[in-house]
Structures are given as structure tokens and as C-alpha cells.
Amino acid sequence: MEWRERDGIRWLQAELGERARVAFTTRVGGVSEPPFDGLNLGVLTKDSTAAVVENRRRIAAALGLEPERIPIGLQVHGAEIAFHAEPQSPSPFAQPGSEIPEVDGHVVSEVGLAPLVFTADCLPVALSGPAGAAMLHCGWRGLAAGIVATGAAAVGATDAAIGPGIGPCCFEVGEEVVDVFAGLGDGIVAREDSARGEGIHGSKPRLDLPEVARQLLVDAGVDRIENAGLCTRCEEELFFSHRRDEGRTGRQAGLVWIEEERS
């Protein structure tokens, strides 16, 4: 992944297979006021809707995309995925308040659409394969419900990128959450009696959510996996974090799109 910046907007971008591209946004840029400063992309945050619409316009422009061609969903921490062959009309991304499906993932197979998921500690996970590209919103509940396997199967995924999300340094969970992923082995959790290094928060078991996603991607047959390795809770200057900010925060996003074939 590489850092990109344009017109004050900063994001991470990566190639995903031969034709797909993925971008993971930050809070850098935009017009929102504290505590949503600056590039808040979520309207369900008590931020000014006008500010969010302008932020959405700015990130689309920075990426060379059309806001009306960015599908989104109402995320419910599940495993449902929407398949998009044409833009949503009217566009809930460009026109907040428009009808929106309850889904946590999106699949496209043609050039021209760039599905987006919102995050503020959950992982944005992008996939590509011969059948298209997918963008997934992956909290622990969605991962447990099988959203990675569903998304990978939908596109025949060979490549994946795991974006910024809460890291193992900060993601305290209960034993009931640890038990959900027990089949993945001991490497996905650190406990309070483990060696505690700089940046470690809390004393409960800490789940390594990116490693959970990586192992599930491997299980789904994905060959090449890139991980941003950035914790949203720790990196306050770069990212919004629901846990760090106790719920009063903005949303960054992950987007994926398929490019025209090069001649």
C-alpha cells in the first residue's frame, strides 16, 4: 500500500490483482468540525449533513470517482452482501436520506462502480478475483457470521487487502468473543498475563482482528493478502475510532473499483 494525497485529502491506495484498486481513507482533509474533523464520511454521526456531503464529494474527486456511482449500505454487522450492476438510484452516498439496503458487503463485476464501507474500528476488507471485486465491513460479528467466505466465493478471490482497524494492542473483548474464534488457534488473542509492550491498552483478552481476517481469507483460498497494519484507536491524527472516542466520532471508509483494461 502507498500513501496518496491530493487537494489536502490523504489516503492509502493499493493495486488489487491485475485490474482492481482499493483506497482506505483517513480523517485528513475535509470540512467537518470537531469532534468529526475533518473528512468524516458518515451521516449517522450527528455531524452536519452538509459537511458530510461535501466530504464525500471531495474524496470522490480525489480518487477520480463519481459520487453517484459509489454504492453503500446500512451496515448491521452481518454477512449479507449486495451485488451491483448499476448505480443506486437515487444515490444514498451523494444524496443522504435515500433508500439504502441493510448489507455489510458489496460486489461489482464491471468498470464504473466503486462500492464503499464505513468504518471507525472495524476492518474494511477488499477482495478481487476473476469474477469481480468486493468490499466488506468486517467487525468481529461479521467475521464470525462468514462474510469473508461469502465475499471471497462471490468473486473467486485471489487477492485481498485488509485496511486500518482496531489492532491487537487495543481490542479488548470478553471470553465469549474469544470462544467464537477458538478454532483459529491461540495466535489471535493476547491475555493480561502476556508480556505487555508499548501501546497496549487494558487488561482483558485482546483479539487480533486483522489476524482473524487474514486466517479466514487464507481458509477461503485467497493467495495474496496485504495488511495495512495500522490501529485506528492508536493513530488519532489519522483515523476515527469508536472505542477511543466513546462513540462520538466520524467514519472513514474503504472503497474498491475495477479499472479499464490497459491497451
Which cell numbers hold the place of 104? 455489510
For residue 197, what pLDDT is reported? Answer: 46
List all residues 6 or more positions away from 15 whose beta carbon is below 8 Å from its beta carbon: 21
Provide the terminal-to-terminal Cα distance of the chain, rounded to the nearest Å: 24
Burial of 109: CB neighbours in 10 Å, binned 0-12, 13-18, 19+: middle
Predicted local confidence at residue 190, as pLDDT: 81
Whether omega before 130 lies within 30 degrees of 0, making that bond cis, reads no
Cα 223 to Cα 16: distance, rounded to the nearest angstrom: 12
- The pLDDT value given to residue 202: 57
Residue 200's pLDDT is 55
Nearest Cα neighbor of 227 from 237, 206, 205, 212 is: 212
Per DSSP, the three-state class of 39 is: coil
Q: What is the mean pLDDT of each run of 10 residues along the chain (263 residues)?
A: 97 95 98 97 96 98 97 97 96 94 97 97 98 98 98 98 97 94 88 51 84 97 97 98 96 96 61
Q: How far is CA 102 from CA 80, 91, 105, 256, in A?
A: 8, 15, 9, 19
Q: Which domains does the chain have, with CATH numbers?
A: 2-157+232-258 (3.60.140.10)
Q: How far apart are CA 69 and CA 92, in angstroms?
A: 10
Cell of 152: 471471497
pTM assigned to the model: 0.94
Distance between CA 123 and CA 138 in Å, rounded? 5
